[in-house]
Amino acid sequence: MFWIDDYTISSKRCFTNAPTDPPAGSDMEKEIFRQLQQNFKRQYEHIFPDKLASKTVVIVPSMTLDHEILSKIKGHVYYEERMLCMLMLLRMPQTNVVFVSSISIDEGIIDYYLHLLPGITGHHARQRLTMLSCYDASAKPLTQKILERPRIINKIKKKIIDLQQSHLVCFNVAEPERTLAVQLGIPIYGCDPELLHLGSKSGSRILFKSCGITIPDGYENLHSQKEISEALFQLKLKHPTLQKAVLKINEGFSGEGNAIFNYQNVLPAPDLKEAIEASLSYIHVVADKVNYEQYYKKFGELGGIVEAFLDGDIKCSPSVQCRINPIGQVSIISTHDQLLGGEDNQVFIGANFPASKHYAVEIAQLAEIISERMVLQGVLGRFSIDFLSILLNNEWVHYAIEINLRKGGTTHPFLMLQFLTDGVYDAASGIFLMTVGEPRYYFASDNVSSPFYAGLTPFDLIEIAMFHGIMYDSTKQEGVVFHLIGALSQYGKLGMICIAASPERAKELYLKTIEILNFECMQNEVTGC
């Protein structure tokens, strides 16, 4: 049994003082969550602007996504480390941070991030940082692991000094995050899971159409192979020269839920519709070790879309990162040119910041139109909008592709740049300026990998970077910042953000770092060290 008589938010009383928390997903849980989010407005207006205010930020970098798709990402558990950029909040001298992870994060990695803090000693910051681990490397989302461990929840509660001056930050917000917020008695700086459909592939297309934004021709809310074949047939009828179509699972991410249908593989038959239906097995699934039967099974469970594969001699994949704050104001935070790899360029590899000067302002304006519509839907927090931009007759044509209603691959690089330089991106000019008025650019990637890197420890990486002088230098406000460091030894994989005064210099730093890592690792291979 549980009871509720006066669910008021205060520093002296927490919802979880009740004998039992409301059942997950219940109407009562949803109502408590709405109250928490409503009261977050006051915290945002009065506490956030004060850098000297005492506050607690609980960081849960859970990728609460389909676990089967998630498990296909090599070293997925280490992707939680991307949100270590939030440790930069400790630069505010009375801010306390609680960071929860699936597995323990090496102390050397924590020290590396604290070393980057501007104006704060590592010792002072360490006193205000609590690191907690579930000691669970399974493919379960981190939030689910936390909910299964009441003692960890109690440890988090003990570190929350004042409920009215605390909030939760997550990679994405789904039902488990709502349950965790209610059990902790603090709001989330993120979107209500009731609105998750807006961030699905189908929901994105519907929202774009309601805004009058150009999108690739296609069909949404599909579930069966029959519906998929019908959509492929209709696309070919409307566009006889179309060579490819893209199938996308609603909850796919980083391209892992995508597949390519090539019309050239359609089996000869008198009836095109029957021929397409008979050729559905001839798809190229982007995710490794997933056959077409498994793909269609997951597509049937989660639903998805089919849309025309857009081609062009000059084609780019920019994205716009946006934020809607608790009082409903829209901010265009950044623009990026995403680097996509794999067959048919469906997999996110990295990004250049900012997006090309030829269209950065244009896509920001489109994103603002979309964001204003999302305000009306009640969206809160960070999200990104992906576009496909094609140069036609010397003009860029922009197609809205999807909304990522969560943090993503372009979130942590920009946050690191912002925290390190205290600069601001100006969406009206498409330029990032530091406080001294100088511009900054970066090249970032989550997928720097080589079998030769396997075996390198975090300490090895930092030692190599220091020896070769590529570490981020706060005096020059230039250099390399590493992330996903924990994945290096086992998977030979890491991420980096190369910050510089020009795009060319940023790319040069990236290539130089790759050259250094290859040299050091190959040298060890030869000497046996």
Using one digit for the tens of pLDDT, what is the confidence trace for 362-401? 999 999 999 999 999 999 999 999 999 999 999 999 999 9
Least confident of 64-68, 407-411, 503-507: 64-68
Is the pLDDT at 269 greater than 90? The verdict is no
Is the pLDDT at 14 greater than 60? The verdict is no
Identify the helix (H) or strand (E) that includes residue 244.
strand 244-249
Is the pLDDT at 3 greater than 80? The verdict is no
| Amino acid in position 19 | P
Pick from 325, 43, 79: which is nearest to 190 by CA?
Answer: 325
Average the pLDDT over 449-453 and give the result: 93
Average the pLDDT over 81-91 and give the result: 96
**Higher local confidence (pLDDT), 340 or 177:** 177
Q: Return the exposure string of 488-498: e unless at least 16 CB atoms fall within 10 Å of the residue's CB, then b.
A: bbebbbbbbbb
Q: Helices (DSSP H) in 320-398: which residue ranges?
A: 360-377
Is the pLDDT at 419 greater than 90? The verdict is yes
Q: Which pLDDT does position 499 carry in this prediction?
A: 98
Phi, psi of 84 (to 5 degrees): -65, -15
Is the pLDDT at 527 greater than 80? The verdict is no
529 band by pLDDT with thresholds 50, 70 and 90: very low
270 band by pLDDT with thresholds 50, 70 and 90: confident
Which pTM value belongs to this model?
A: 0.90
290 band by pLDDT with thresholds 50, 70 and 90: confident
Give me 484's structure tokens.
Answer: 């996903």
Give me 3's structure tokens.
Answer: 């009871």
**Higher local confidence (pLDDT), 61 or 529:** 61
Give every CB contact of residue 519 below 8 A, 6+ residues apart in sequence.
none
Q: Which pLDDT does position 4 carry in this prediction?
A: 36
R_g of the chain computed on alpha carbons? 24
525 band by pLDDT with thresholds 50, 70 and 90: low
Is the pLDDT at 19 greater than 70? The verdict is no
Express each pLDDT in 107-156 by its tens digit.
999 999 999 998 899 999 999 999 999 999 998 999 999 999 999 999 99
**Higher local confidence (pLDDT), 345 or 450:** 450
**Higher local confidence (pLDDT), 267 or 223:** 223
| Amino acid in position 326 | P
Average the pLDDT over 47-56 and give the result: 95
pLDDT, the chain, mean? 91
Contact 343, 294 (CB under 8 A): no
Q: Which pLDDT does position 127 carry in this prediction?
A: 97
Q: Which pLDDT does position 522 carry in this prediction?
A: 79
Identify the helix (H) or strand (E) that includes residue 2.
none
**Higher local confidence (pLDDT), 323 or 436:** 323
Least confident of 326-335, 402-411, 498-507: 402-411
Average the pLDDT over 21-31 and give the result: 94
- Name the percent of the chain lying above pLDDT 90: 82
Contact 420, 460 (CB under 8 A): no
CA–CA distance, 9 with 402 (Å, rounded to integer): 36
Q: Which pLDDT does position 497 carry in this prediction?
A: 97
Is the pLDDT at 6 greater than 60? The verdict is no
Q: Which pLDDT does position 7 carry in this prediction?
A: 38
- Name the percent of the chain lying above pLDDT 70: 92
**Higher local confidence (pLDDT), 189 or 346:** 189
